């Protein structure tokens, strides 16, 4: 690694990590009050969950266009554009609250999802200038930076309400004003990204493209393993996580215990990501994915037990922590495979496809989770998770015994 490439690598790490931190504050601050706002604007409790759904859908729909923009122009422009869209979305939410326009609120939350799309693309951007033996670690550091923002964000809800009052707005507007500032800082941070031509050449102009995106994926069983681990891992995590607070509330567990459980889950998602990055670089992505599957299985077993009997705070906390760890392992290792195993000329398109798949798949399962919880309780949610996990495990076994797993 030359001195110039090392400088670019470190500079990009700092820029992306700061962007994740500021964006994480904005996302977490807005999400903390999004459901409450949806209920108050529409007057319908059943629409409260649509605030998060709109954001997830926005992230999924924007993933591929942003990847195409990165491929044709640069990561810097794609990420800056995403944060600009998120900034406008947060601003639109403030206006929707001010004028009481519920449709504008949901459109704004959809644009808000651009920050999530940028954060997901940011993990891939971290690998562009990284040497091959540090790609997973580089990715994990940027993912870890989200921890800080995710912890700080919800704690800004009350100061945000005070800010809203001081500006003559609704108290619930304040957190979204903070989100505007967070996304603006994230946008400024990614403007410091630099491209290293030797590390990220404009391959589209130099190498003939062999087929489309799907043929590029099918050429490598390891890439299929990585793609499915990222998508299915996110689907399992979101479907289980969004229903856990409601399950706990139904069993009389208070908001304080719910908050601790979700806090532990977020810690599992982001806090140990550098460990999974190290394990991926040191051993193999395939082994870390299988570890993630094991963690998912442990989480779902605990959830299944809890669904059949008296709910336990300690059991659910352990289940949600393991759920976060499984997500982190599959995200880091699976994304590394999509960086290493895909032809350079198709890499960004495949990465965008994976981000779209994980968000749209999660939105679909989140929509099914409510009716499933009503029909079969929390055990039905975990059984759905087992079905999705089985698909990922079978794909991993096929990749392992296909004889072409190289990482």
Report the pLDDT value the prediction gives residue 292, as an integer from 0 to 100: 95
For 123-176, what is each residue's pLDDT tens digit? 888 888 777 788 888 888 888 888 787 777 767 767 877 888 888 888 878 888
Is residue 159 located within the same domain as residue 240?
no
Do 60 and 360 touch, CB atoms closer than 8 A?
yes
Report the pLDDT value the prediction gives residue 211, as an integer from 0 to 100: 56
Report the pLDDT value the prediction gives residue 135, as an integer from 0 to 100: 86
CATH label of the domain that carries residue 110: 1.20.1250.20
Report the pLDDT value the prediction gives residue 78, as an integer from 0 to 100: 94
Report the pLDDT value the prediction gives residue 354, as an integer from 0 to 100: 87
Q: Read off the pTM.
A: 0.79
Question: Rounded to an integer, what distance in angstroms lies between the CA atom of residue 319 and that of residue 296?
Answer: 9
CA 149, 154, 157: angle at the middle one, nearest 5?
125
| The domain boundary residue, chosen from 197, 225, 256 | 197
Is residue 350 located within the same domain as residue 320?
yes
Nearest to 394 by CA among 251, 253, 244, 221: 221
Overall domain count for the chain: 2
**Domain limits for position 122:** 1-197
| The domain boundary residue, chosen from 152, 169, 197 | 197
In a domain, 17, yes or no: yes
Across 143-158, b (16+ Cβ under 10 Å) vs e yields bbbbbbbbbebbebbe
Report the pLDDT value the prediction gives residue 216, as an integer from 0 to 100: 74
In a domain, 300, yes or no: yes
In a domain, 118, yes or no: yes
In a domain, 202, yes or no: no
For 269-321, what is each residue's pLDDT tens digit? 888 899 999 999 988 888 999 999 999 999 999 999 988 877 888 999 999 99
How many CA atoms, within 13 angstroms, populate the side-chain half-sphere of residue 284?
10
| The domain boundary residue, chosen from 164, 197, 230 | 197
Report the pLDDT value the prediction gives residue 237, as an integer from 0 to 100: 92
Is residue 192 located within the same domain as residue 275?
no
Is residue 361 located within the same domain as residue 219?
yes
- Sequence-ordered list of residues with C-beta below 8 angstroms from that of 206, at least 6 positions apart, any chain: none
Is residue 220 located within the same domain as residue 178?
no
Do 105 and 2 touch, CB atoms closer than 8 A?
no
3-state secondary structure the chain: CCHHHHHHHHHHHHHHHHHHHHHHHHHHHHHHHHHHHHHHHHCCHHHCCHHHHHHHHHHHHHHHHHHHHHHHCCHHHHHHHHHHHHHHHHHHHHHHHHHCCHHHHHHHHHHHCHHHHHHHHHHHHHHHCCCHHHHHHHHHHHHHHHHHHHHHHHHHHHHHHHHHHHCCCCHHHHHHHHHHHHHHHHHHHHCCCCCCCCCCCCHHHHCCCCCCHHHHHHCCHHHHHHHHHHHHHHHHHHHHHHHHHHHHHHCCCCHHHHHHHHHHHHHHHHHCHHHHHHHHHHCCHHHHHHHHHHHHHHHHHHHHHHHHCCCCHHHHHHHHHHHHHHHHHHHHHHHHHHHHCCCHHHHHHHHHHHHHHHHHHHHHHHHHHHHHHHHHCHHHHHHHHHHHHHHHHHHHHHHHHCCCCCC
- For the chain, which ranges sit under pLDDT 70? 1-3, 31-32, 35, 45-49, 154, 157, 196-212, 255, 259, 399-407
Is residue 153 located within the same domain as residue 268?
no
Is residue 234 located within the same domain as residue 122?
no
Report the pLDDT value the prediction gives residue 270, as an integer from 0 to 100: 87
Report the pLDDT value the prediction gives residue 402, as an integer from 0 to 100: 53
Is residue 292 located within the same domain as residue 171?
no
């Amino acid at each position: 690694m030359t001195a110039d490439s090392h400088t670019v690598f470190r500079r990009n790490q700092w820029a992306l990590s700061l962007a994740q931190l500021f964006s994480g504050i904005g996302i977490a601050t807005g999400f903390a009050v999004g459901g409450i706002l949806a209920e108050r604007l529409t007057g319908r409790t059943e629409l409260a969950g649509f605030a998060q759904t709109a954001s997830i859908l926005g992230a999924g729909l924007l993933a591929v266009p942003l990847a195409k923009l990165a491929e044709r122009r640069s990561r810097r422009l794609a990420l800056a554009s995403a944060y600009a869209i998120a900034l406008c979305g947060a601003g639109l939410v403030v206006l929707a609250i001010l004028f009481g326009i519920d449709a504008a609120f949901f459109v704004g939350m959809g644009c808000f999802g651009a920050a999530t799309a940028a954060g997901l693309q940011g993990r891939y951007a971290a690998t562009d200038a990284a040497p091959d033996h540090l790609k997973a670690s580089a990715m994990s550091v940027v993912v870890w930076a989200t921890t800080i923002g995710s912890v700080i964000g919800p704690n800004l809800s009350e100061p945000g309400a005070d800010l809203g009052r001081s500006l003559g707005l609704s108290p619930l507007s304040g957190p979204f004003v903070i989100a505007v500032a967070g996304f603006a800082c994230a946008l400024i941070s990614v403007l410091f990204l630099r491209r290293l031509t030797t590390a990220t050449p404009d391959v589209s102009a130099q190498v003939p493209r062999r087929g489309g995106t799907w043929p590029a994926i099918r050429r490598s069983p390891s890439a299929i393993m990585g793609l499915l681990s990222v998508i299915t891992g996110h689907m399992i995590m979101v479907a289980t996580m969004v229903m856990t607070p409601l399950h706990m509330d139904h069993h009389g567990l208070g908001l304080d215990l719910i908050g601790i459980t979700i806090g532990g889950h977020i810690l599992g998602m982001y806090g140990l990501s550098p460990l999974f990055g190290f394990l991926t670089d040191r051993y193999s992505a395939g082994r870390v994915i299988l570890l993630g599957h094991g963690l998912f299985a442990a989480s779902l077993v605990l959830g299944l037990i809890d669904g059949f009997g008296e709910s336990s705070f300690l059991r659910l906390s352990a289940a949600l922590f393991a759920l976060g760890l499984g997500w982190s392992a599959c995200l880091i290792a699976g994304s590394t495979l999509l960086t290493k195993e895909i032809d350079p000329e198709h890499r960004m398109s495949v990465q965008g496809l994976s981000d779209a798949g994980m968000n749209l798949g999660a939105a679909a399962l989140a929509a099914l989770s409510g009716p499933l919880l009503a029909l079969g309780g929390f055990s039905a949610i975990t059984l759905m998770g087992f079905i999705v996990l089985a698909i990922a495990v079978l794909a991993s076994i096929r990749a392992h015994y296909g004889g072409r797993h190289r990482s």
